Structure 1
Amino acid sequence: MGKAVVIAMLLAALLGGVGIWYTQTRAYYSEVAGPVSLTFSTGGDLTTLPASEVRAIASVSSPLGFRACFAHDLDLLTVPDLADPHAQAAPTVAPGWFDCFDAKQVAGLLDDGLAQGFVAMKNVAFGVDRIVALSADGRGWAWHELNECGRKSYDGTPVGEACPDRATYTPLTEGSL
């Protein structure tokens, strides 16, 4: 009887662990079907980023779950005319199965000056900006980060007038631009 209880407990722990692993790495992510909105926004104007070979994932549970990899043919010297530089760009870790997005590698390229980060679009979701990193060798990555409105909103600080009205805010839907 004691062995059966121990085996049942171990089996329950194993199944629970597999369930947690699956939900964290697979269940809430899916590849984005259709066009991905890779644009630069400056002063309200949108400029489409000339991207090819785009692969993207998004999480149904959080706007911060977006990641994308792509190729580009931009001259990095002209990009600051199209988008605001983002010196503190810090890519977030993607699930291991999305192998084109290696956050440590992208962060290293940004730190070494071999890639540049830009705010591609502010408020793609309430309090969330789309960040793009571009390398001189034609690779690009995109992810979402909390902006000042998001940080204030989620820590309970009053957001102020510079933030959009959350009650009437409409987030970006991929392929809607």
Structure 2
Amino acid sequence: MGKFLAMLILVCAVGAGAGMYYLQVYHYYEEVELTPGQDVVLVPQGGDEGVAIAYSDFQAIDASSSPIRYRACFTSSLSREELAQIYTVSDQHQPRIAPGWFDCFDAQAIGAALEAGTATAFLSVKNIKHGYDRIVAVTDEGMGYVWHDSNNCGKKAYDGTVIGETCPELPAASQ
């Protein structure tokens, strides 16, 4: 009887682990539908609202379970130098790792390109969700990548620091 219970516990543990893995890596993600002229926007220097830029080959994934699960890839005919003269450059150099099956987004390679200076990160949308900004990076080869990253307000809101007057109000909890 003891061997049977041990095997049952082992089978349940393996099943639960496989289920959690599937939920985290596949289940919650869905493809983002293309919205021409709105998928890739950058904030002009001194501006507040994003402006659409020329892009093609856009593909993206997102999940409603977390504001940091958004990832996108695209190509652009605009050089990063041209973009840097017009749009707000961001100091966010840590793209979030995407699921392995979304193979156009390699966070380590993007981060290395940003650190090496062969890619530039730009602010796309400030506070797309409370405490999170949308960041767009463009490489020398014209490849573009998009992800969400916490801004100063988001970092303060989730580490227990007093948010202060410069941050927007937290959204009301849905009931």
TM-score by length of structure 2 reads 0.89
- Residue 91 of structure 2 aligns to a residue in which SS? coil
Aligned-residue Cα RMSD (Å) equals 1.6
1:130 is aligned, of 134, 146, 149, to 134
1:38 and 2:21 matched: no
The equivalent of 1:18 in structure 2 is 18
5+ residue gaps, structure 2, are none
How many pairs are equivalent?
168
1:58 and 2:50 matched: no
Q: Residue by residue, what CA displacement relative to the aligned partner does 1:104-160 show, whole Å, maximum 9, x if unpaired?
A: 111111122111111122111111001111011110100000000111111222222
1:31-110 aligned within 5 A: 31-35=31-35, 37-42=39-44, 43-110=47-114
Residue 119 of structure 1 aligns with an amino acid whose one-letter code is: L
5+ residue gaps, structure 1, are 169-177
The equivalent of 2:168 in structure 1 is 164
- After TM superposition, give the deviation of residue 103 of structure 1 in Å: 0.5
Cα 1:20–1:45, aligned 2, differ >3 Å: closer, same or farther? closer
Asked whether the equivalents of residues 153 and 159 of structure 1 are also in contact (C-alpha less than 8 Å), the reply is: yes
Please give the alpha-carbon distance, in whole angstroms, between the structure 2 residues aligned to 1:100 and 1:57: 11
Please give the alpha-carbon distance, in whole angstroms, between the structure 1 residues aligned to 2:116 and 2:16: 41
Cα 1:46–1:88, aligned 2, differ >3 Å: closer, same or farther? closer
Q: Which moved more, 1:2-11 or 1:65-74?
A: 2-11
Percent of residue pairs identical: 39
Residue 126 of structure 1 aligns with an amino acid whose one-letter code is: H
The equivalent of 1:171 in structure 2 is none
